[in-house]
Structure 1
């Protein structure tokens, strides 16, 4: 019977279930009044009718924390557990017939000062239970007292209300924790997305720089090839002229060895003309001074370097809110900021 009685205790009022008993979707039971108290504590702003909530809403089971969703009838829409009510009736009948009443009297606490006196009154002034002797002769003789039964009901109601309020507060606290965890997940996901976008912007900037580097390097290479080809062509011309001069020189030496005067004089005139032509290089091109210099392809990236070092996120609405109104409001608009443009302005 004791074990059965434990199973018939309401988790809110800590007393045996008071009819009507309602059954929650999670199969746990509550007194309808206790269910209404828990519901009202969890939904303090819902409209009431005659002191009872009747509109739809939700609260959590105090035993397993399962969320109970109510329809428009509120707690009156919950199904009554007639089986539990019948068991309560049978238990009370069995208890009254088989369990002797005096056993519970032994549980009445005794006064610490007057050991033979039972605690049977409540000192309202000090807020403690005491005995009649303490009121007449003891420390509470000048205090205001009241019967235990009246204070018992008042304190039990206060405790029940406090438990219901704690259940509602715990539900709200759990909701806040869930929202904060969701905010953490959103921050991590948004951070990953923004990092990806930042990397894409920098990759685009790298590609622009690489393309510009190839373009400028090609200009230097084109002029290099043009000048080298010109110098090599000029080298071939001077080489051909030198080869021709060597042949004429050899012919001159051979003519100098001619012993026959008539034949010598006959060959001298055309040979002298060739020597004169070969000695002149005026018809050959000359390389201008400084022709080999490539200094005109100088670069100065001071401005561009300064612009690159100044790359940062766009200072938008969220930054001002962070400075002026703190991080709480800043978080509300953080994910509405525009995507930062990481490229410097075109010049």
Structure 2
């Protein structure tokens, strides 16, 4: 019977279930009044009618914390547990017939000072239970006392209200925790999305820089090939002239070996004319000093570097629209840093794009002066 009685105790009021008993979706039982109290504590802002909640809502089971969702009938829409009600009736009948009254008297605690006196009154002044002898002759003779039964009901009601309030506070705390967890998930998702947007903006900036690098490299490569081809052409011309001069030298040596003076004089005249022509390099082009220099293609990105280091998130939607229009324009001639659109809630000073970078490039030097 004692074990059965423990199973019939309401977890809210800590007393035996009172009719009607409602069964929750998690199969735990509550007094309807206690279920209504927990529901009101969990939903303080829902409308009421005649002191009872009849609209839909939710609360958590005080036994297993399972969330109970109610329909528009509220607590009155929960199913009654007729089996438990019948068991309670049978238990009360069995208890009243089999449980002897003296047993309750034996369980009454005795006074510590007057060991033969039962504790039957309550000292309101010191908030402790005591016996009648303590009130007449003992430490509580000048104190205010009250019947222990009335104080028992008052304290039990206070404890029941406190438990119901704690259950409501726990439900509200659980709701706050759920909201914080949802906020965490939203922040993580928003952070991932904004990181993707920032990376896309930087990828666009990288593509612009790569395009400008390719264009400038092509200019340098074009002049490099032009100058190299010109120098190689001159090299071939000077090589041909050198080969002709070597042939003249060989013919001169052969002529020097001619023993016949008349024949020598006859052959030397045209040979001397050819040697004079071969010795002249006036018809060959000459490369001016510094022709191989390519320093006129030097660049400076000091302004752009400062602008890139000052890149930050935009401040509002208007700045974002302006920067997007600038980005679509292309900045083909080497604009400064492009402001990255971070979007969302990040607030910072926007950075205007810097002036186009001027690349010093002079026309290539004159190839050579032709000697006549």
TM bracket (short chain)? 0.7 to 0.9
Shift in alpha-carbon separation, 1:125–1:316, aligned structure 2, 3 A: farther
Residue of structure 1 in register with 2:321 after alignment: none
- Are 1:19 and 1:32, in contact at CA under 8 Å, matched by a contact in 2? yes
Structure 1 unaligned blocks of 5 or more: 318-333
Question: Is 1:100 paired with 2:108?
Answer: no
How far apart are 1:61 and its partner, in Å? 1.3
Residue of structure 2 in register with 1:325 after alignment: none
- Are 2:314 and 2:349, in contact at CA under 8 Å, matched by a contact in 1? yes
Where has structure 1 moved over 6 Å in runs of 4 or more?
A: 338-344
Task: Give, in whole Å, the separation in 2 of the partners of 1:316 and 1:139.
Answer: 76
How far apart are 1:341 and its partner, in Å? 12
Residue of structure 2 in register with 1:219 after alignment: 219
Shift in alpha-carbon separation, 1:179–1:64, aligned structure 2, 3 A: same
Task: Give, in whole Å, the separation in 2 of the partners of 1:335 and 1:98.
Answer: 77
- Are 1:311 and 1:344, in contact at CA under 8 Å, matched by a contact in 2? no
Residue of structure 1 in register with 2:276 after alignment: 276
Residue of structure 2 in register with 1:308 after alignment: 308
Render the CA deviation track for 1:54-81: whole Å, top value 9, x for unaligned.
Answer: 2222211111112222222222222222
More deviation in 200-209 or 168-177?
Answer: 200-209
Question: Is 1:154 paired with 2:162?
Answer: no
Secondary structure, in 3 states, of the residue corresponding to 1:22? strand
Residue of structure 2 in register with 1:13 after alignment: 13
Give the root-mean-square deviation of aligned CA atoms.
2.9
How far apart are 1:131 and its partner, in Å? 1.4
Q: How does 1:132-143 map to 2 (within 5 A)?
A: 132-143=132-143
- Are 2:315 and 2:347, in contact at CA under 8 Å, matched by a contact in 1? no
More deviation in 120-129 or 268-277?
Answer: 268-277
- Are 1:313 and 1:342, in contact at CA under 8 Å, matched by a contact in 2? yes
Task: Give, in whole Å, the separation in 2 of the partners of 1:113 and 1:187.
Answer: 65
Shift in alpha-carbon separation, 1:335–1:99, aligned structure 2, 3 A: farther
Q: How does 1:19-38 map to 2 (within 5 A)?
A: 19-38=19-38
Residue of structure 1 in register with 2:260 after alignment: 259
How far apart are 1:169 and its partner, in Å? 0.5
Task: Give, in whole Å, the separation in 2 of the partners of 1:49 and 1:144.
Answer: 42
Task: Give, in whole Å, the separation in 2 of the partners of 1:137 and 1:335.
Answer: 82
How far apart are 1:260 and its partner, in Å? 5.0
- Are 2:53 and 2:75, in contact at CA under 8 Å, matched by a contact in 1? yes
Task: Give, in whole Å, the separation in 1 of the partners of 2:311 and 2:24.
Answer: 60
Normalised by the length of structure 1, the TM-score is: 0.84
Question: Is 1:345 paired with 2:353?
Answer: yes
Residue of structure 2 in register with 1:330 after alignment: none
Task: Give, in whole Å, the separation in 2 of the partners of 1:186 and 1:33.
Answer: 39
Render the CA deviation track for 1:92-150: whole Å, top value 9, x for unaligned.
Answer: 11111112111111111111222111111122222222211222222222222211222
Normalised by the length of structure 2, the TM-score is: 0.79
Question: Is 1:50 paired with 2:88?
Answer: no
Secondary structure, in 3 states, of the residue corresponding to 1:53? coil
Residue of structure 2 in register with 1:4 after alignment: 4
Q: How does 1:41-120 map to 2 (within 5 A)?
A: 41-120=41-120
How far apart are 1:164 and its partner, in Å? 0.7
Q: How does 1:181-220 map to 2 (within 5 A)?
A: 181-220=181-220
Shift in alpha-carbon separation, 1:71–1:100, aligned structure 2, 3 A: same
Task: Give, in whole Å, the separation in 2 of the partners of 1:50 and 1:121.
Answer: 39
Task: Give, in whole Å, the separation in 2 of the partners of 1:335 and 1:253.
Answer: 88
